[in-house]
Amino acid sequence: MDWKVPLSDLDFGEEEKEAVIRVIDSGWLAMGEVTRQFEESFARMVGVNHAIAVTNGTASLHLACRALEIGPGDEVIVPSLTFVATANAILYVGATPVFADITSEDNLNISVEAIEDAITPRTRAIMVMHYGGYPCDMSAILQLAERHNLFVIEDAAHAPGAAIEDRKMGAWGHIGSFSFFPNKNLTTAEGGMLVTDDDQLAQKMRTLRSHGMTTLTWDRHRGHAWSYDVVELGYNYRIDEIRSAIGCEQLKKLDRNNSRRGVMTALYRRLFQEIIPDLRIPFADYAWKSSFHIMPILLPDGTNRARFAEIMKAHGVQTSLHYPPIHLFQYYLDHGLAPRQPLRMTEAVAAREVTIPLYATLTQRDVEYVVNAIAESLKETNLAPQSASQPGS
Ligand SMILES: *Cc1c(COP(=O)(O)O)cnc(C)c1O
């Protein structure tokens, strides 16, 4: 489908192409100098001692759980309003995800009170997700974690460059995790990154990333080592030099591109206020610095969302949902993973949420077009006869 305004778009140029060609010409394709550079630059951006690049954001969350030795019998508190990988990573290590509700219709991040209510003697960690790039209340969450002796993992897939005061997201918890999937603020096609200030955790994650081996291809190539031992049940979760080269170029654009997303977000908010004032837009006047990953809106109660999305599609505007709550997925229901407390706010918001286009190269005219399309689609949706409003997808 050729969208007039797609949900997300890349900002790739000659820089990325040339970086890829340089790697190909160099003849060194995996675990080399370019990956080391990407890790170093990323660590500097986040303001942490260690960054470990991996094959994708899901592998990254899995390694975070493994490195903290979370396992069977352990519980990890997690939001349900996130991508399924956030909770799947907890299941990979045999632990139990315990879902906590979000804060409000305005703040779609995990609620600190709900986290506190979900703590049991089995709780080992809290895994937060900075929805849309808007930071969770990390001071309160860290205080709670300290009081109960819990680890904090940040799923910062939405939040590269976001910050509370001067401390970037990913640097607050014991481990931060990022994804570089094509729709993210910084992409390497597939890719991910772990960050931490803890030397031991960093070492463990590096080992787990590469089969649990004690020395790396790079060291052996350089003559630093010629044999190895295997000390953990590790994986091959490595990134490669081609993707790291793209990552280095994308990282240089991150600040500028986050700012562009911020400008377009502000324009959306202003136009909505003028044109569709009864539309609810979460994270109004948010206290902390966002990376503006996505643009969520909440449709008026009772709007037929499937019909709305169809009409938007007819206008050439791509929309999406963030997210179908994890606790309602078949697999989770079938495996006894239903929440212990009802997730009322999560379910209420998830039923009304629609994500509209946001990306660094979005223009003012695109935003105006999308806002007008929303105004028209809402009108048409509510005019539609009942027969046309059966969910079609
Ligand atoms: C994208 C994303 C992931 C998974 O990352 P992949 O790189 O696609 O494996 C995990 N959590 C959240 C919140 C994401 O948005």
Task: Determine the length of the chain.
Answer: 393
Find the 79 Cα to ligand 1 centroid distance in Å: 14
Tens of pLDDT, residues 226-271: 788 899 999 999 999 999 999 999 999 999 999 999 999 999 999 9
Q: What distance in angstroms lies between residue 388's CA and the mean position of ligand 1's atoms?
A: 35
pLDDT digits (tens, 9 = 90+) for 132-169: 999 999 999 999 999 999 999 999 999 999 999 999 99
Question: Residue 216 — very low, low, confident or very high, per pLDDT cuts 50/70/90?
Answer: low
Name the residue type at position 112: V
Residues 91-115, mean pLDDT to the nearest whole number: 98
Of the pLDDT bands very low, low, confident and very high (cuts 50, 70, 90), residue 278 is confident
Pocket test for ligand 1, best of 62, 65, 108, 155 (most atoms within 8 A of CB): 155
What the block records as the tokens of 312 is 């938007």
Q: pLDDT-based confidence at 111, cuts 50/70/90?
A: very high
How far apart, in whole angstroms, are the C-alpha atoms of residue 96 and residue 62?
13
Report the run of H or E that residue 44 belongs to, with start and end.
helix 33-46
Residue 390 has pLDDT above 50, yes or no: no
pLDDT at 218: 62
CB distance 85 to ligand 1 below 6 Å: yes
- Residue 43: how many CB atoms within 10 A of its CB? 21
User: What is the separation of C-alpha 255 from the centre of its chain, rounded to a whole number of angstroms?
Assistant: 17
Q: What is the pLDDT of residue 215?
A: 72
Ligand 1 atom with least separation from CA of 85: 10
Atom of ligand 1 nearest to the CA of 179: 7
- Tell me if 293 CB under 6 Å of ligand 1: no
Mean pLDDT computed over 51-72:
98
Q: Give 16: exposed, middle or buried? Use CB within 10 Å, 0-12, 13-18, 19+.
A: buried
What does the radius of gyration of the chain's CA atoms come to, in whole angstroms? 22
Please tell me the distance between residue 158's alpha carbon and the centre of ligand 1 in angstroms: 8
From the CA of 61, give the closest atom in ligand 1. Answer: 10
Is residue 155 lining ligand 1, measured as CB closer than 6 Å? yes
Place of tokens 């695109």: 366
Confidence (pLDDT) at 393: 42
Q: What is the CATH topology of the domain spanning 14-250?
A: Aspartate Aminotransferase; domain 2 (3.40.640)
Task: Confirm or reject: Cβ of 56 under 6 Å from ligand 1.
Answer: yes
Q: Which of 60, 81, 83, 358 to mutate to test the pocket of ligand 1 (most atoms within 8 A of CB)?
A: 83
Question: What amino acid is encoded at 213 in this protein?
Answer: M
**Predicted local confidence at residue 220, as pLDDT:** 65
Q: Is 50 exceeded by the pLDDT of residue 389?
A: no
- Nearest CA-CA partner of 30 in 311, 315, 221, 281: 221
Checking if the pLDDT of 1 tops 80, the result is: no
Q: Whose CA is nearest to atom 6 of ligand 1?
A: 57
pLDDT, position 31: 87
Element (H, E) at 112: helix 112-118
- In this prediction, residue 246 carries a pLDDT of 98
Cα dihedral 64→68→72→76 (10° resolution): -70
Catalytic residues: 184
Whole-angstrom Cα distance, residue 371 to residue 374? 5
Tell me the fold of 254-380: Aspartate Aminotransferase, domain 1 (3.90.1150)
Tokens encoding 185: 């603020």
Q: Which residues pair with 155 in a beta bridge?
A: 129, 177
**pLDDT, mean of residues 11-37:** 97
Tell me the pLDDT tens digit for each residue of 340-369: 999 999 999 999 999 999 999 999 999 999
pLDDT in tens, 282-310: 999 999 999 999 999 999 999 999 999 99
Domain ranges of the chain: 14-250, 254-380
Q: For 348-362, give one letter per residue: b (16+ CB within 10 A) or e.
A: ebbebbbbbbbbbeb
Residue nearest ligand 1's atom 15 by CA: 157
Between the CA of 180 and the centroid of ligand 1 the distance, in Å, is 8
Q: What is the amino acid identity at position 62?
A: H
Q: Stretch 39-61: mean pLDDT, rounded?
A: 98
Mutating to test ligand 1, I would choose from 8, 54, 81, 181 the residue with most ligand atoms within 8 A of its C-beta, which is 181
105 CA distance to ligand 1 middle (Å): 23
